[in-house]
């Protein structure tokens, strides 16, 4: 028997409707249902979190498809962390308006989660955001990334450098993930074979990965298939992660507050997007962040790469423990 009932909905946002998957716990008791909002990576979709959902049997999980991806692929720009944060907030308002909601972001989703946690507008003070959104739990994302020049030059030290080229940023960090978006596949099986040969999935594709990848495909007029993420969305979002002000301001807001800094959990994988070492966040960089933000909780998830941190038992257990820890803190705060 499944631990959750799953349905997909549409929520009004700027420019159209956002597709949102919601897992309602079957075993939920009376009263407040603890709620998590999961936010996926730059070329992914909400189904990539299905393994984590199964490890949270009494928790409601809200999972939007970010605009320009999967079932939200027809939503237009502008893209960027602030736009995604507003969309995610609309999803949360629709399904958990009372809060508190623990934000969980994987890869780029961590940047969106941090932006939402730290942003405010005319309808929402920073204090209100702190009450409604807990965490965030950042899974191999959400903290500033090191960026090396793909041409072999010195690493980029200043991510606010106006001379940074978007294509260089994408090539340096996303690599094959970006190349995949321009490819066409004759069949669904051909697309799955592409991932089966990917170094990050050498142990095979489990049910969660397979269903997420199949869901990702969009049919073309010639009956072939193409990954659903729009190139425009990926390019805009990739640049905004490094040079956009909304994320930078939110990071300063959250990490500059000792209490809120203490709510942030950062899990990082041993290996990167192609299962090479070091990971997306080299250990020495993580050590620097731990010194810079001493109340940040850091979890080194050994034996995982950027993708299977959400697919393997080791990765899922670590992520679920982090989420449950934040849910417990949120519940204690609500009682107080």
pLDDT in tens, 134-170: 999 999 999 998 865 333 333 333 334 445 465 665 6
In angstroms, the CA 52 to CA 70 distance is 19
Q: What does the mean pLDDT of the chain come to? A: 88
pLDDT tens-digit series, residues 62-83:
999 999 999 999 999 999 999 9
Number of domains the chain is built from: 1
Does pLDDT of 172 surpass 70?
no
Range of the domain at 58: 4-335
The pLDDT value recorded for residue 160 is 40
CATH code (residue 181):
3.40.50.1820
As a whole number, mean pLDDT of residues 10-37 equals 92
- Return the pLDDT at 124: 53
Overall pTM > 0.85: yes
* Residue 314 confidence (pLDDT) above 50: yes
How many angstroms from the chain centroid is the CA of residue 17?
20
Radius of gyration over alpha carbons of the chain, in Å?
A: 19
Tell whether the model's pLDDT for residue 213 goes beyond 70. Answer: yes
* 253 pLDDT above the threshold of 90: yes
Q: Specify the pLDDT at position 129.
A: 63
pLDDT score for 37: 98
The answer for residues whose C-beta is within 8 angstroms of residue 283's C-beta and 6 or more apart is 300
* pLDDT tens per residue across span 119-128: 864 445 556 6
Between residues 131 and 207, the one the model is more confident about: 207
- Which single residue is written with the structure tokens 């939402």? 116
Task: Kindly state the average pLDDT of the residues 212-232.
Answer: 93
By C-alpha distance, which of 276, 263, 270, 256 is closest to 325?
Answer: 263
The yes-or-no verdict on residue 196 having pLDDT over 80 is yes
């Amino acid at each position: 028997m499944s631990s959750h009932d799953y349905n997909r909905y549409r929520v009004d946002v700027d420019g159209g409707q956002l597709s949102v998957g919601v897992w309602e716990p079957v075993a939920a008791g009376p009263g407040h249902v603890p709620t998590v909002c999961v936010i996926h990576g730059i070329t992914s979709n909400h189904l990539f979190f299905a393994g984590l959902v199964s490890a949270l049997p009494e928790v409601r999980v809200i999972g939007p498809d970010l605009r320009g991806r999967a079932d939200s692929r027809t939503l237009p720009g502008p893209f960027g962390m602030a736009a995604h944060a507003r969309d995610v907030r609309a999803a949360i308002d629709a399904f958990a308006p009372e809060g508190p909601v623990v934000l969980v972001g994987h890869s780029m989703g961590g940047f969106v989660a941090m932006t939402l946690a730290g942003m405010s507008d005319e309808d929402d003070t920073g204090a209100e955001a702190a009450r409604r959104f807990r965490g965030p739990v950042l899974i191999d994302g959400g903290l500033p990334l090191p960026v090396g020049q793909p041409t072999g030059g010195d690493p980029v030290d200043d991510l606010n450098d106006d001379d940074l080229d978007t294509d260089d940023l994408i090539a340096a960090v996303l690599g094959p993930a970006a190349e995949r978006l321009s490819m066409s596949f004759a069949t669904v099986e051909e697309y799955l074979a592409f991932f089966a040969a990917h170094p990050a999935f050498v142990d095979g594709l489990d049910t969660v990965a397979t269903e997420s990848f199949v869901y990702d495909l969009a049919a073309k007029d010639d009956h072939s298939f193409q990954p659903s993420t729009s190139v425009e969305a990926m390019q805009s979002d990739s640049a905004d992660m490094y040079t956009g002000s909304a994320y930078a301001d939110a990071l300063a807001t959250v990490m500059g507050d000792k209490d809120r800094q203490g709510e942030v959990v950062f899990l990082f994988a041993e290996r990167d997007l192609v299962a090479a070492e070091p990971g997306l966040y080299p250990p020495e960089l993580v050590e620097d962040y731990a010194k810079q933000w001493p109340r940040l909780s850091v979890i080194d998830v050994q034996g995982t790469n950027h993708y299977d941190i959400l697919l393997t038992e080791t990765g899922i257990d670590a992520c679920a423990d982090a989420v449950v820890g934040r849910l417990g803190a949120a519940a204690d705060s609500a009682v107080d």
